Amino acid sequence: MFNCEQVLAELASYLDDEVVAEIRQELEHHLAECKTCSVIYDSTRKTIRVVTDSGSFEIPEEVSARMTKRIMAKVRETSPPESKP
């Protein structure tokens, strides 16, 4: 059976659903028995959810439009892109 160290080592893959069946079985067996690892797993899973849904570093539409305008003005000052070889 996995110990807590082994669970932590495999946690990244498990969180991303990228573990093989044998490892998954070991992990789930351990998580069912170990309260500490179970809390770490569950709260890390929720961390990912909170981060993904947070809209962090998002910028307003008008800032995005302003950047595009600025960039295209610069681009038009330069020559056309290199032709495809």
Partner 1 sequence: MSYFPEIDRGLNFAPFQQLREHFGIVPGLFRSQTLRPEVIEAETELLEAILLRERSLRPEQKATIALVAAAARRNGYCVAMHYQRLRELGTREEDLLLLVELRDRVSSEQPEGAALLDFAKKLSLHAGTICRADFETLSARAIPDDQVLETLLVTALGVLLCTLATGLGVKADFDPPAPLPNWDGQPSTKYQLEPRPFTTGREAGAAQGPRLCTTEPDVGEFPPFDSLRLHFGFVPGFFQAQAQRTDVLTAEVRMLESLLFQDGPLSRLQRSCILLAVSAGHFNIYWVTLLSERLRILGLSEDETRAISRDHSKSHLSGPDKALLDAAIKLTTRPSDFSRLDIDRLGALGVHPEQVIECIATAALADFLHTLQAGLGTAPDFEAAWDYLPEVEPQETEALPDINNSNPFPDEFSLTNAALDSQAGMSTTDDPDSDLVLRVQQGEMNAFEELVNRHNRKIYRILLGITGKHEEAEDGVQETFLKAFEHMGSFKGRSRFSTWLIRIAMNAGVQRMRRSRNMESLDEGVGEDDETFRPRQLRAWTDDPEQLYSKEQRRSLVERGLKALPQKYRMAVILRDIEQLSTEEAAQALQLGVPALKSRLLRGRLMLREALAPYFARGQRGGEGV
Question: Is residue 29 a contact residue for partner 1 (CB under 8 A)?
Answer: no
Q: How far is the CB of 47 from partner 1 (least distance, A)?
A: 4
| Shortest spacing between CB 49 and partner 1, in angstroms | 7
Q: How far apart are CA 44 and CA 33, in angstroms?
A: 18
d(CA 34, CA 6): 13
Q: Which tokens go with 75?
A: 């681009």
- The CB-of-25 to partner 1 minimum distance in angstroms stands at 10
DSSP notation for 15-32 = HTT---HHHHHHHHHHHH
Choosing from 7, 11, 27, 31, the residue that interacts with partner 1 (CB under 8 A) is: 11
35 and 4 Cβ atoms separated by less than 8 Å = no
Q: Does 40 bind partner 1 (CB under 8 A)?
A: yes
CA-based torsion, 13, 17, 22, 24: positive or negative: positive
| List of residues contacting partner 1 (CB under 8 A) | 2, 8-9, 11-13, 15-16, 18, 20-22, 26, 36, 39-40, 42-44, 46-59, 63-64, 67-68, 70-72, 74-76, 78, 80-85
